Amino acid sequence: MIPQLRSKLILPLLALLMLLAAWIESPLASNMGFKFNKKLYAGFVIVQAPKRDNWISLPYNNPYPDAKKLCVACGAAGAGFTIFQLNPATGAALVNYPCALVAVVPLDASRGVRIRNTGPLPANCIIVGSHDDATPLPTILGGFTLVQAPKKENWISVPYHTTWNKAEDVCVSLGLGPGAGSVIRINPDPAVGANVVSHPCVTVINNFAIRPAEALLIRKTSAGDIVGFIPLHL
């Protein structure tokens, strides 16, 4: 009786393990859907920047091919909201889109998006989508100097299923050694004292946790660009 009972238990268990292994190896496992409710701080004024600068990270596969669709998803379709993406090669705007417009202006999902809300009321941005394993990070430009900023400031959308947990993980993935660059996040909360949190690579300074749906700024001070690639992911 006991051997028969064991065989009856073992066979279903083996079948379950085989099914689990097949699911883990499936490409669908690395392309799960995501949904985040991202708070957008209100009351932005330029003299207080970067307070209330909401830098968000889009899924690489998303329903926001243009700025207007992102405005609507963020409840920001009216006056007072502006969608912005930076062109690091020039330091000028790649996208600078007041949400009151109706024009179609495309967005680059691999680049970080800044949303400024000059109105008095905060909004919530419902970000949905999944990761596209065929879309690499944008090219990271090197040779950043503070006097040229924002030229060569690389704002990236963090892949939603990345294995990055800390800022230093980003440094390692990009191959940034001591003195070669830094990873930066903007905390838009006006109540905090330091809104810019900077982690110099290969140090223990401000090795902050990567936050879901939040874009990162990469400043590569060493020479040479890093061609976009697909980082390690789940």
By the 8 A CB rule, do 55 and 155 touch? Answer: yes
What is residue 77's predicted lDDT score, i.e. its pLDDT?
Answer: 65
User: What is residue 23's DSSP assignment?
Assistant: H
**Residue 215: closest CA among 47, 38, 67, 35:** 38
What pLDDT is attached to residue 47? 94
| pTM confidence score | 0.85
- How far apart CA 152 and CA 42 sit, in angstroms, is 28
- pLDDT at position 139 is 97
Handedness of CA 40, 213, 164, 224 (dihedral sign): negative
Sheet holding 216-220, edge to edge: 154-156, 216-220, 181-186, 196-200
Which of these, 180, 184, 209, 182, lies nearest to 194 by C-alpha position? 184
Supply the pLDDT for residue 24.
33
| pLDDT for the residue 197 | 97
Helix, strand, coil percent values for the chain (each to nearest 5): 20, 30, 50
For 200, phi then psi, to 5°, come to: -70, 130
Both structure tokens of 185: 């996040």
171 and 183 Cβ atoms separated by less than 8 Å = yes
What are the helix and strand counts (H, E) for the chain? Answer: 3, 10
Calpha distance 24→150 (Å, rounded):
42
Per-residue pLDDT of the chain (234 residues; tens, 9 = 90+): 445 544 454 544 544 443 333 333 333 334 557 888 889 999 999 999 999 999 999 999 999 999 999 999 888 666 789 999 999 999 999 999 999 998 999 999 999 999 999 998 888 888 999 888 888 999 999 999 999 999 999 999 998 888 999 999 999 999 999 999 999 999 999 999 889 999 999 999 999 999 989 999 999 999 999 999 988 777
Type of residue numbered 85:
Q
What's the token pair of residue 45?
């004024």
Strand partners, 216: 156
